[in-house]
Amino acid sequence: MKTYSLKFTVIVCIVLFIMHTSFILIPIDLFRMYNLILRPLIYMILALAVYVFMGIDLRPVRKAYWATMIALLSIMMLGMVMLIVSFLFDAGQNIMTINPAIIVNNLWTRGLVVVLGDFIRYKLIKSTNQQNRGGVIIALTVILAYSQMNALQMLLQGNVLPWAVFFEAIFRSLVISSTASYFSIKGSFLSVVLVSFTYTMSPYLLPILPDISPIVLSLIISGLLFVSAIIFFFFMNENKRVQQQQEKRAIRYAKKPIVGYIVTISLVGGIIAFFVGVFPVYPVVVLTSSMAGTFERGSLVFVERVPSGKAFAKVGEGEVIHFISHGGVEYIHRVVDFSHNTNGERQYITSGDASDFIDPIPVPQDDVLGIARTFLPFIGYPRIFFQSIVSTFR
């Protein structure tokens, strides 16, 4: 199997190099056929050949679970950075997601190739002995990065700066491929796919992208991959003292598994109950800028629940209240005055702090849900981001 691994590495590199180089200068109509049919087919044949001749490796991967967790952490870091950058520089709709046909095409022509390439990479690296592993890793890293590069096509389009081509087409592909190869050495196949697929396909699948240049986006992706690789290195190469401490801690926890489960379930249940709104204080995300200056858009506001019968006593002028409008939409606005309806019941006149106009419809006492007490900035942006994703596909 070790001999097969080295031979298959040479075959894979030669086939992929010839294929990618041969079709790099073909006309656009043939290039489309190459992307849709030929390239995925060749990757499928190579992956099947590696699977058949290399067999199934039943050896357990040490720390496979933690490698997958590090990969998921890397994905979450990417999501958070995208949110922050979108907040700082605004965001716009990704033209790659405006049509479902484009999404399916990118998943087939790019995503499938990434997954099959990672399978080939993982099997060959894992099956190679220590003597030849370094050369196999370098060869697969370079050739799989080369297969994702479109540098020459970009240069042929004209009016493109060489350094822009380097960062967008060459540097980013090499960093992604290098990180995937590094995860293949000690990680699980799932961790390799998570890192490689997410970072390769994020510019093609995210419906909302920050309003930044492709070069900056490439640098952000590359930087996050470097951070992920560093985290992976330190975690997978921890010293014996730390391992012994973890083993002792695991033994200590094993003595009281029920207590640990109860505490964990209680904490998770309490967090879920809080966000669902079970407790007297519940969270609300500010979705607009109507309260800018007090609660910025994306803030997570903590609201004290007010029963309808106590609104008269608790809600006064100047309070910021959470209420529901006649159309069923929830708002957080400030009480600026009072009025009474035909039945003599109090109504609240509200307005956003960032607006010079009062809300057109007074708020009855029964529609008051609570009083805003404090807030945390930016914490609510994940909801705004996912809400924008949902609205994009509606």
Q: Write down which residue in 256, 276, 296 finishes a domain.
A: 276
Buried-exposed string 340-354: b where 16+ CB fall within 10 A, e elsewhere: eeeeeeebbbbbbbe
Q: How many domains does the chain have?
A: 3
Model confidence over 72-122: pLDDT tens digits?
A: 999 999 988 888 887 777 777 788 888 888 888 889 988 999 999 999 999
Separation CA 237–CA 348 (nearest Å): 62
* CATH number of the domain encompassing residue 356: 2.10.109.10
Q: Write down which residue in 224, 258, 276 finishes a domain.
A: 276
**Quick one: average pLDDT of 158-170?**
62
Tell me which amino acid residue 189 is.
Answer: F
8 Å CB contact between 365 and 299: no
Is the Cα torsion angle 200, 204, 210, 215 positive or negative in sign?
A: positive
- Comparing CA positions, the residue from 352, 63, 100, 80 lying closest to residue 207 is 100
Q: Are residues 302 and 364 in the same domain?
A: yes
Is 322 strand, coil or helix? strand
Q: Are residues 83 and 199 in the same domain?
A: yes
Give the predicted TM-score (pTM) of the model.
Answer: 0.60
Q: Are residues 121 and 191 in the same domain?
A: yes
Please state, as a whole number, how many other Cβ atoms lie within 10 Å of the Cβ of residue 24.
15
Q: Are residues 260 and 361 in the same domain?
A: no
Q: Comparing 243 with 89, which gets the higher pLDDT? A: 89
Separation CA 145–CA 148 (nearest Å): 5
Q: Are residues 16 and 115 in the same domain?
A: yes
Q: Are residues 270 and 302 in the same domain?
A: no
Model confidence over 148-161: pLDDT tens digits?
A: 776 455 444 555 55
Q: Are residues 256 and 344 in the same domain?
A: no
8 Å CB contact between 352 and 290: yes
Tokens of 221: 């992706």
Q: Are residues 101 and 184 in the same domain?
A: yes
Q: Are residues 132 and 97 in the same domain?
A: yes
Q: Are residues 22 and 62 in the same domain?
A: yes
Residue 167: band (very low, low, confident or very high) from pLDDT cuts 50, 70, 90: low
8 Å CB contact between 332 and 345: no
Separation CA 319–CA 74 (nearest Å): 42
**Quick one: average pLDDT of 154-170?**
59
Q: Are residues 23 and 169 in the same domain?
A: yes
Q: Which domain holds residue 161?
A: 2-237
Beta bridge partners of residue 351, listed in sequence order:
334
Q: Are residues 315 and 367 in the same domain?
A: yes
- The most confident of the ranges 123-127, 235-239, 256-260 is 123-127
